[in-house]
């Protein structure tokens, strides 16, 4: 699944311009599938080329034409197929976890700073999701409620975990060297142990 498919999906819910779609990608979708103009505009162009959407240009005073896109029958079918076909992927990429893994290469104050920072980011995230939910008013569509709730639940779980386990990373005694030895030994299947040949 890529941004093209996502645009198609959003257009299933109604006509929109690239600018409109961007707003969705920055609000409801931000925590699990963000996208910028650089991906959205080219996607729409391709979709129009393929006949999966139609473009209607609406002239405006002193602004570029507002290009409103509407999904076609073909587009709708393509979307539904790719939604059902895909074996969905769920990927996390976290530099925070990298930093935590290597915590003993950080100064304690840096580590503290980073943990504080992370916590702040997480609660900001929850607040942001709450705001979005409020903006929908009383009738939040089920899918939207599900993904917003998911985001909040995850952020909360992460914050708790970090709070409850930060002590793991602070102690004075590092075990890093033990791990090192373990890895070197287990991977020494080579014939020679001499590291010095052919520097």
* Subset of 35-94 contacting DNA (CB under 7 A): 35-39, 41-42, 44-45, 60-67
One residue of 62, 73, 134, 195 binding a copy of itself per CB under 8 A: 195
* Rounded distance between C-alpha atoms, residue 87 and residue 6, angstroms: 15
C-alpha distances in angstroms, 163 versus 58, 88, 160?
A: 52, 31, 5
Binding residues for a copy of itself restricted to 111-170, rule: CB under 8 A: 114, 117-118, 121, 136, 139, 141-147, 149-150, 153-154, 157-158, 160-161, 165, 168-169
Phi/psi of residue 58, nearest 5 degrees: -110, 115
Segment contacting DNA (CB under 7 A): 118-126, 150-158, 170-178, 187-195?
A: 187-195
Contact region with a copy of itself (CB under 8 A), list: 39-47, 107-115, 126-134: 107-115
Tell me the pairing of strands 66-71 and 53-58. antiparallel
Beta carbon of residue 44, minimum distance to a copy of itself (angstroms, whole number): 15
- Least distance to a copy of itself, CB of residue 67, Å: 9
C-alpha atoms less than 13 angstroms from C-alpha of 46 in its C-beta half-sphere:
11
Residue 57, beta-bridge partner list: 67
């Amino acid at each position: 699944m890529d941004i093209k498919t996502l645009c198609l999906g959003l257009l299933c819910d109604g006509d929109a311009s690239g600018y409109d779609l961007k707003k969705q990608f920055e609000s409801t979708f931000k925590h699990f599938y963000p996208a910028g103009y650089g991906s959205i505009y080219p996607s729409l162009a391709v979709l129009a080329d393929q006949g999966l959407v139609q473009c209607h240009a609406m002239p405006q005073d002193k602004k570029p034409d507002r290009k409103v896109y509407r999904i076609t029958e073909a587009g709708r079918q393509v979307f539904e197929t790719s939604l059902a076909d895909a074996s969905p992927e769920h990927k996390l990429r976290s530099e925070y976890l990298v930093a935590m893994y290597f915590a003993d290469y950080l100064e304690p104050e840096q580590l503290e700073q980073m943990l504080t920072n992370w916590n702040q980011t997480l609660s900001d995230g929850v607040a942001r999701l709450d705001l979005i939910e409020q903006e929908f008013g009383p009738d939040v569509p089920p899918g939207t409620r599900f993904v917003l709730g998911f985001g909040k639940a995850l952020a909360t779980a992460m914050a708790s975990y970090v709070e409850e386990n930060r002590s793991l990373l602070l102690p004075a005694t590092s075990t890093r060297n033990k791990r090192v030895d373990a890895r070197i030994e287990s991977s020494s299947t080579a014939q020679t142990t001499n590291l010095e040949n052919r520097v």
